Structure 1
Amino acid sequence: MKKLAMGMIGICSVILILFGVQHYLASKTGTNASSDKVLNLYNWGDYIDPELLKKFTKETGYKVSYETFDSNEAMYTKIKQGGTSYDLTVPSDYMIQKMKREKLLLPLDHSKLTGMKNYDTRFLNQSFDRNNRYSLPYFWGTLGIIYNDQYVNAKDLQHWDDLWSPKFKNQIMLIDSARDALAIALITQNKSVNTKSRADLAAAQAKLTALMPNVKAIIADEIKMYMSQNEAAIAVTYSGEASEALSHNKHLHYIVPSEGSNLWFDNIVMPKTAKHQAAAYAFLNFMGNPKNAAQNAEYIGYATPNQKAKALLPKAVRQDTQFYPDDQTVKHLQVYDDLGQLWTEKYNDAFLEFKMSQK
């Protein structure tokens, strides 16, 4: 009997342990939907002021279960595979278009949104989501050039074509992104960054290959650290990354060439598996509040699409044309479209061949 009792105790212990593990994992993956007072938020790492999450919970009673991803593709794969019940996530422009086409998103009920009037109309009704049927803008920015005035004279670097100058041999850090690198070459040739012409893509690849002698490294998130530490004279990266680098080094400057560049958006969407829609709308309205959006913009350092929030930012920030470019510059910016699998692979292949030419 003792042996049997010990066995039963062991079995019960295993069951309790498994139940505890299951409960823990559910709480960590955002799949614990036992309470309606929960918001399961899936966002990029360090992409919201943590104090805002506490404030949201305090004001609404909704507890936030927060999970992060490091790429659009990772986020897309997890949501497409199912098994999760995220209420909101934050994909970029082209990925929204892809998720919408594959019916992975729920349309937004605008009658439940209270902050639409706060957004800058320039950043609404974009090609990837007409009439903002599926998304609301969260942050926006540009692709541009950081340069260090200890090594580069500003007059020598105002346009994308200037990157090809022999004086910049082995001095450029290039963002590790097929779309961005090829966009630079396409823009110098007066072509669309969304071209589906084999000839245009081949010409862009050839132009990019000619840049290789000037390329010091092809890297991603490390760019801001290296530029902050004076490791290179020039870098091509995103405005948000540039903002962080500039805050650590007074010799750094950021420009968006006047001939055009990429205008990117990260928007908030509601996956079709969302189980807490009331909480999701509460959060959308909370983040649409100018005061909250301004606080978030100051914490993250990216440009807010909330016009009334921008007005609350320090004058030095809102008038900084490096990160809030004027209308004339914005007119020449291009948003990436979802190219579809075939052309995405062609761009990736072209970029890979370019990288293989690095010595």
Structure 2
Amino acid sequence: MKKMVALTLALLMAASLFLSGCSVRKDTSDSENSGSSNGSGSGDRVVNVCSWGEYIDESLIDQFEEETGIKVNYQTAESNEVLYSQLSMGGVDYDVIVPSDYMISQLIEEDMLAELNYDNIPNFEKIDDRFKNLSYDPENKYTVPYTWGTLGIISNTAKVQEPITSWSAMFDPQYAGNVLLINNSRDALGIALLYLGYSVNTTDEAEIQEAYQLIADAVKNGVYQGKVMDEVFQKMEGGNAAIATYYAGDYLSMLENNEDLAYVVPEEGSNWFVDAMCVLKTSQHKEEAEAWINFMASTEANLRNMDYIWYASPNAEALETYPAYYEETYGEPLDPALYEIMAPSQEVLDRCEAYLVLPAETRTLYNDLWTQLGI
């Protein structure tokens, strides 16, 4: 039902664009695009947003532009690490970014983020207290949470012999050529550390080297079909791989297109994360950036966004009322099992760790080991 409604809306949007001669604003070429879309010299109000792929109901962009007169230039990056590389090299003019918790800590540490004027963001009050004053922004000076969720294993039940319950599946030669390794070092090494019984935040070089060797041995044994980020949608929806590591919200999107897919937070535990909206210190449109953040933090925007991207909202009212919103929208109740994947219980979260920012020397080690993998 939900998939069919989304398809109808997409076809209507495509027809409108064809008739008007306009182009879709979203640019997903993360590594090739400079981000230079500031509209400077035109006198127009603009906000440049960089987020992740498949991570917004784009009709919200239209609504924001209509309500405020502020043009949104919306682009995406593939991962936190790619985003950081872009910011470090310069040449991008993003105003709002939506990094994950550990990357926010690093950006604060490196003085890249502007303190927010929360008087311009009254909807911050709607954010559940459990998502405020977290370790990445303990004084709540820089961020407004956007989504939260878990990292887990997605498996194709038509291609695996038994239910997947452990991270061991990510390294198992019996699945050679049918496993997708997530294409960022923090998650990839993190799942190896969890399988070995270590913390995802360890700084012990021997433990990190052991995790690297586990992945390297799997590479040698031909376990991995390749490294993916957003490519995982096509691979898993099309039945082209048996096992992948990815995020709960994206799994729920994939499930709409392939009912054979299953999701699990493995028995060894996993990562639970918060992605949050921030304004870069270099922003030339801070007032517009805060207007965008306030709009996206509203209950209405969170309900629509949850419904579109399947990620849990930190807006307390939106999260609580989403099942009723779903039933009113689609005429059928939301499956409680799906809601539990979207917004896992505290029992599940207690088995997970949030990533903390690692010391500079540990980050260098991660980068060096990741480069050595060469896949």
* TM-score normalised per structure 2: 0.78
8 Å CA contact retained: 2:173, 2:218: no
Q: Larger C-alpha radius of gyration, 1 or 2?
A: 1
Letter matched to residue 276 of structure 1: H
Distance 1:266 1:318, change over 3 A: farther
Letter matched to residue 153 of structure 2: I
Q: Distance in 1 between matches of 2:237 and 2:318?
A: 28
Distance 1:244 1:218, change over 3 A: same
Partner of 1:302: helix, strand, or coil? coil
Aligned twin of 2:334: 316
CA RMSD in angstroms comes to 2.9
Letter matched to residue 268 of structure 1: M
Distance 1:348 1:231, change over 3 A: same
Q: 1:36-93, CA deviations, whole angstroms, 9 ceiling, x for partnerless residues?
A: 7332323334432221112112222323233443343443344455566543222222
Q: How do 1:1-359 residues align onto structure 2 when only pairs under 5 Å count? A: 29-30=37-38, 32=40, 35=43, 37-80=45-88, 85-155=93-163, 157-164=164-171, 167-212=174-219, 213=221, 215-220=223-228, 221-310=230-319, 311-312=321-322, 313-314=325-326, 315-316=333-334, 320=338, 321-353=340-372, 355=373
Percent identity of paired positions between Structure 1 and Structure 2: 35
Q: Distance in 1 between matches of 2:256 and 2:335?
A: 12
8 Å CA contact retained: 1:93, 1:337: yes
Distance 1:300 1:33, change over 3 A: farther
Partner of 2:181: helix, strand, or coil? strand
8 Å CA contact retained: 2:178, 2:223: yes
**Which ranges of structure 2 fall in alignment gaps of 5 or more residues?**
1-33, 327-332
Q: 1:200-240, CA deviations, whole angstroms, 9 ceiling, x for partnerless residues?
A: 11222233345443714132132221222222222222223
Partner of 2:116: helix, strand, or coil? coil
Aligned twin of 2:16: none
Q: Which moved more, 1:163-172 or 1:187-196?
A: 163-172
Distance 1:60 1:202, change over 3 A: same
Q: Distance in 1 between matches of 2:184 and 2:285?
A: 35
Q: Distance in 2 between matches of 1:345 and 1:178?
A: 11
